[in-house]
Amino acid sequence: MIRTGYHARVAAAREAEQRSMIEYETTGECRMTFLRRQLDDPHIAGPCGRCDNCAGARFTATVSATDAEAARTALAKPGVEIAARKLWPTGMAALGVPLTGKIPAAESAGTGRALGRLTDLGWGTRLRELLADGTPDQPLPEPMLDGIVKVLANWGWEQRPTAVVSIGSHTRPGLIADAARGIATIRRLNHLGAVEPTFPEQRQAPRGNSAQDDLPHPDVPHAGRGARGGDGAAGGGPLLRPVSISPSTTC
């Protein structure tokens, strides 16, 4: 191929850029200074003081056995807090509930707990697999039940729950029911069974921070029949209600 003068200049410029990339990786000078010089910046004031060459920080791909074990321990630790909602969802009036604005402190729910976040490593990886759309309904895996029990043990209740009631799920009835029974057995709580949902099975498209988005959910019914399949009474104390997924409550 015969290069014209223009093509030769373009090729030379690209080759120079490639060499600069390699030089950037191996240079010992301030990386910001190097970049600004490559961009013909006439106002280079000196080293940035923050890059690895300026700060002297060096990180390798090798990890000590102690650090690796510490990372495994941190990832295996179950439990994240679920902040209570601060505002009533929009659209409550359409459901016949005249509530808007800030939720009064006296009516605010307490901080909840979850085994893990779907976006996290560790428990999040296992939860994503368990709750994926193509995963069939199944009993709660024993390691997850053990994790939930640890979360409950470390909760620091103001008043310990006396019973467990689950919400009947259209999507994962076996998972939710098995979790409720397992928690009740291990924590020695009364098992009240499941409240069966009465709304249609299909899910609707999310509407943001909306009452319609919160209530017509397969695992959180807005109306239901009495609890069935239980073997105990409420006992006059707080109820523990396990669900598969809790929506974000950062508002």
Tens digit of pLDDT for each residue in 167-192?
A: 878 788 899 999 999 999 999 999 98
Give the C-alpha separation, 218 to 196, whole Å: 10
Assess whether pLDDT exceeds 50 at residue 108: yes
User: What pLDDT, on the 0 to 100 scale, is given for residue 95?
Assistant: 76
For 157-208, the DSSP string reads -SS---EEEEE--SS-HHHHHHHHHHHHHHHT-EEEEEEEE-S-S------S
> Is-above-0.85 flag for pTM?
no
More confident: 212 or 135: 135
**SS3 category, 245:** coil
pLDDT digits (tens, 9 = 90+) for 72-92: 999 999 999 988 889 888 888
User: What pLDDT, on the 0 to 100 scale, is given for residue 223?
Assistant: 35
More confident: 53 or 198: 53
Highest mean pLDDT pick, 58-62, 94-98, 171-175, 195-199? 171-175
More confident: 229 or 241: 241
Assess whether pLDDT exceeds 80 at residue 201: no
User: What pLDDT, on the 0 to 100 scale, is given for residue 216?
Assistant: 41
C-alpha closest to that of 160 among 132, 188, 138:
188
C-alpha closest to that of 175 among 186, 162, 166, 184:
166
Give the C-alpha separation, 65 to 53, whole Å: 27
How many Cβ atoms sit within 10 Å of the Cβ of residue 196?
A: 16
How confident is the prediction for the chain on average, in pLDDT? 81
**What is the arithmetic mean of pLDDT over 10-27?**
91
In the numeric block, which tokens belong to residue 37?
Answer: 């010089």
Give the C-alpha separation, 6 to 156, whole Å: 73
**What is the arithmetic mean of pLDDT over 21-28?**
92
User: What pLDDT, on the 0 to 100 scale, is given for residue 230?
Assistant: 53
User: Which pLDDT band holds residue 222 (cuts at 50, 70, 90)?
Assistant: very low
Assess whether pLDDT exceeds 80 at residue 104: yes
C-alpha closest to that of 137 among 105, 104, 86, 178:
178
**Cβ atoms of 243 and 168 closer than 8 Å:** no
**SS3 category, 62:** coil
In whole angstroms, how far apart are CA 60 and each of 49, 63, 64, 79? 21, 8, 11, 31
